[in-house]
Chain A
Amino acid sequence: MHGPRPPAIDQDEPRIAARRRWLPAAVIVTLLALALILPQLTTNQFYVHLANLMLLNSIFAISLGLIASVGQISLGHAAFVAAGAYISALAALSFKLPPLLGIVLAGLVTGLAAVALGKILLRLRGVYFVLVTFLAGQVFTLVALNWESVTHGANGLLGIPAISIFGFPLSTRLRFYYFALAAFILVITFVWALMRSQYGRAFRSIAENIRLAESSGIDVSHYQIVAFALGSGIAGAAGAATVHYIRFLSPDSFTFNDSIAYITMLVVGGRHTLIGGVLGAAFLTPLPELLRGFVGAQHIIYGAILLGVLLFIPNGLVSIGSSLWRKSSGTEEPK
């Protein structure tokens, strides 16, 4: 009954255990050092801009991954990003609210809105949930377009101030880069801690077997709402941060296409891991720039990439890395 255990595990255990301890730490320190230094070495503002977008997109993909971790997929994620952006932009333009506070406010309001919406939406399972999030996203875009007295409709909002920290404005791409990097580290650390905790245990249980989760005493609707609210709140706050960087906002800034782009990033990178969203964002953010020559074919290429990933590496780019890691250490990666 007890299957044979590969003997390699027992022999190599101490070496692998030691390697498991130092390797992740070394990788993180190296990446952090590179992230801090690299932007200083380039004079090309465009690369810095791309790095900023990658960091922001990573946050959007990670926050969507949080919602997906309870087994739900939202097609309206960009609506929360847009809502956060409008809240902070309007608060800054109309009430002179400092952008940093605006970002916090945007996160809180979008998070609470998700709680309210979640209480209704999360009764729906599977495809119905997906459809309603799609509709909610479309409705938001239409409201933003037509509520001209507040949003200025299709003309959009101009002159949105940059983030300023104790009077020091983050008005250049490089300055914003360090802010975005800090925000990215904050978000990824928070989500990592969350997924490691009893919350993560509850989320994964629900995604994997909702009935068994319920009969294990896990309050399914509660944790689905927590995941939806946190994911949407992070998206709202990051949307606000984005708008104080781009400094222009219209109903076209964050649309259904962006919701699809976040899903694509998550799936391409690997939707079961935290790093997946980051890899997906890093891979797909520069893509439109590389595809400039193929205007119109962009979505086709996006779709082809998505299909290719689903067919050949269903667990995303991250699974290539982890299978290499398995091969080199001769053991299966613990989940």
Chain B
Amino acid sequence: MTALLQVDAISRRFGGLNALKDVSFAIHPGEIVGLIGPNGAGKTTCFNVVSGVMPPSAGAIRFDGRSIVGKKPSEIVSQGLVRTFQATTIFPEATVIENVMRGAFSTTPVSMLGSVFNTRATRATMSATHRRCELLLDRLSLAPLAQRKARELSYGGQRRLGVAIALAARPKLLMLDEPVAGLNPEEAADFGRLIRELHKTENITILLVEHHMRLVMGLCDRLVVLDHGEKIAEGVPADIRANRKVIEAYLGTEEAA
């Protein structure tokens, strides 16, 4: 099976600090993969490098068979690799439906000039996109709030809206950056179910960074563990849980303790 995302020996240095060192992993179509590690392990840097927010200092990244190193984030999105952010997940002053319409920007096939003149073809395409966005809101139980301003949503609602914005770009691979951070246990569990459901209905592959271990263990097919910028383990949740290196990374070695 060919990989959807192939990360090959990427490194990222900030001055003298090796935030990422020779990290390699692959994600296959249909998988849910978790990227975990203690604080400062390089998870967020890894996310930013893969999604094109910052270039790697070395290494190769192939998505859907094509190299994406050095491409603009907007080009990477058009290829089907879409990410969410931890904090800035929404357009606060726009309505909920407008937020999702903006997410659908790259998948709305209108000519820009036609859009200025608001031609018949543009109107047809825009109303099709509008319907698609309404369906997405429905799926994330945000439909009744479509005309609200995004900043008026609850925190949980804003996180769901962030996912709806990302889904509107029709991702093949959806990268979720700590999707349940700041949610209470009940909301987090709901969110886990939601991710599983979307994984099926939207036919997407998912890579997520998350601290919430129970969620990660229950949700992911496979885990990649980072520590001090290096990959220390990779495998199914049961193996990772028993992996000595991983336990040491999280809890410290016996000597240190």
A193, B116: Cβ atoms closer than 8 Å: yes
A217 near B165: Cβ-Cβ < 8 Å: no
Q: Which of A3, A193, A197, A213 counts the most B-chain CB atoms under 10 A from its CB?
A: A197
Name which residue of chain B comes closest to A2, CB basis. Answer: B144
Measured CB to CB, the closest approach of chain B to A314, in angstroms, equals 13
The answer on a CB contact under 8 Å between A198 and B165 is: no
Indicate whether B44 reaches chain A with its CB closer than 8 angstroms.
Answer: no
**B56 CB to nearest chain A CB (Å):** 18
Q: Does A219 contact B (CB under 8 A)?
A: yes
- Secondary structure dominating the interface of A: helix
Max chain B Cβ within 10 angstroms of own Cβ: one of A1, A197, A216: A216
Chain A residues 1 to 49 lying within 8 A of chain B, measured CB to CB, are 1-3
Sorting the interface of chain A by its residue count into under 10, 10 to 19, 20 to 34 or 35 or more gives 20 to 34
**Extra contacts besides A197-B118, A216-B169, A218-B105 (4): CB < 8 Å:** A199-B115, A215-B73, A215-B84, A216-B105
- CB-contacts of B71-92 with A (<8 A): 72-75, 77-78, 82-85, 88-92
Q: Does B102 contact A (CB under 8 A)?
A: yes
Q: How far is the CA of A217 from the CA of B168 in the complex (A)?
A: 10
Instruction: Tell me, yes or no, whether B237 is within 8 Å of chain A by CB.
Output: no
Cβ of A209 and Cβ of B118 under 8 Å apart? no
Which of B75, B95, B107, B118 is in CB contact (< 8 Å) with A193?
A: B118
In chain B between 101 and 146, which residues have their CB closer than 8 angstroms to a CB of chain A? 101-103, 105-108, 110, 112, 115-118, 122, 141, 144-145
11 A-B contacts (beta carbon < 8 Å)? A3-B152, A197-B118, A198-B110, A199-B115, A212-B90, A213-B102, A214-B74, A217-B82, A218-B102, A218-B105, A335-B149
Q: How many residues of B contact A (CB 8 A)?
A: 48
Instruction: Report B-chain residues with C-beta under 8 Å of the C-beta of A199.
Output: 112, 115-116
Q: Which chain A residue lies CB-closest to B77?
A: A217
Least CB separation from A218: chain B residue: B105
Nearest A residue to B168 via CB reads A216
- The answer to whether A217 touches B78 (Cβ under 8 A) is yes
- Docked Cα-Cα span, A2 to B83, in Å, equals 27
| CB-based contact B91/A209 at 8 Å | yes
CB within 8 Å of B: which A182-220 residues: 193-194, 196-199, 201-202, 204-205, 208-209, 211-220
Which residues of chain A are near B232, meaning CB under 8 Å? Answer: none
What residues of chain A lie closer than 8 Å to B147, measured between beta carbons? 334
Question: B239 near A: Cβ within 8 Å?
Answer: no
Tell me the A205-250 residues at the B interface (CB within 8 Å). Answer: 205, 208-209, 211-220
Identify the closest chain B residue to A197 (Cβ).
Answer: B115
CA distance A204 to B93 in the complex (A): 10
Q: Which residue of the partner chain B has the closest CB to A220?
A: B74
Known contacts A1-B157, A193-B118, A216-B105, A205 near B91 by CB under 8 Å: yes
Q: How far is the CA of A256 from the CA of B149 in the complex (A)?
A: 38
B51 at the interface (CB under 8 A from A): yes
Total A-B contacts with CB atoms under 8 angstroms apart:
100
B105–A202 touching, CB < 8 Å: yes
Nearest-CB distance from A193 to chain B (Å)?
5
Let me know if B2 is at the binding interface, CB within 8 A: no
State whether A215 touches B102 (Cβ < 8 A): no
Contacts of A218 in B (CB 8 A): 74, 102, 105-106
Q: Could you say which residues of chain A place their CB within 8 Å of the CB of B152?
A: 3
Q: Which of A194, A198, A204, A219 contacts B108 (CB under 8 A)?
A: A198
Assuming the A-B contacts A215-B82, A216-B102, A335-B95, are A193 and B117 also in contact, with contact meaning beta carbons closer than 8 angstroms in the complex? yes
Indicate whether A216 sits within 8 Å of B118 (C-beta atoms), given known contacts A198-B108, A201-B101, A211-B88: no
**A212, A220, A335: residue with the most chain B Cβ atoms closer than 10 Å:** A212
Q: Are B145 and A216 in contact (CB under 8 A)?
A: no
Shortest beta-carbon distance from B203 to chain A in Å: 19
With A1-B157, A217-B78, A220-B74 in contact, do A201 and B105 touch (Cβ < 8 Å)? yes
Residue B94 CB within 8 A of the other chain: yes
Q: Which of B85, B98, B110, B116 contacts A215 (CB 8 A)?
A: B85
- Report the Cα distance A198→B110, complex, angstroms: 8
Interchain CA distance A237-B85 in the complex, whole Å: 42
Could you tell me if B106 and A216 are in contact, using CB atoms closer than 8 angstroms?
yes
Q: In this complex, what residue of B is CB-closest to A204?
A: B94
- B154 at the A/B interface (Cβ < 8 Å)? yes
Chain A residues 314-335 with CB under 8 Å of chain B are: 334-335
**B115-A216 in contact (CB<8A):** no
